[in-house]
Amino acid sequence: MSSATVQTSIRLTPAEKRKIATAARKRGLSPAAYIKTVALESTRPRVASDTKLEQLAVLVHQVREAVEDELDYRTAVAAWDRHVKSGEKLLSGEEARRALGL
Between 44 and 90, where is the model more confident?
Answer: 90
Amino acid at 29: L
Note the pLDDT of residue 54: 84
Between 49 and 51, where is the model more confident?
Answer: 51
Note the pLDDT of residue 51: 80
Alpha helices in the chain (DSSP H): 14-26, 31-43, 48-86, 93-99
Note the pLDDT of residue 46: 67
Cβ contact 12:22 at 8 Å: no
Q: In angstroms, rounded to a whole number, what is the distance separating the alpha carbons of residues 19 and 24?
A: 9
User: Which of the four pLDDT bands, split at 50, 70 and 90, describes residue 91?
Assistant: confident
Q: In angstroms, rounded to a whole number, what is the distance separating the alpha carbons of residues 77 and 70?
A: 11
Predicted TM-score (pTM) of the model is 0.41
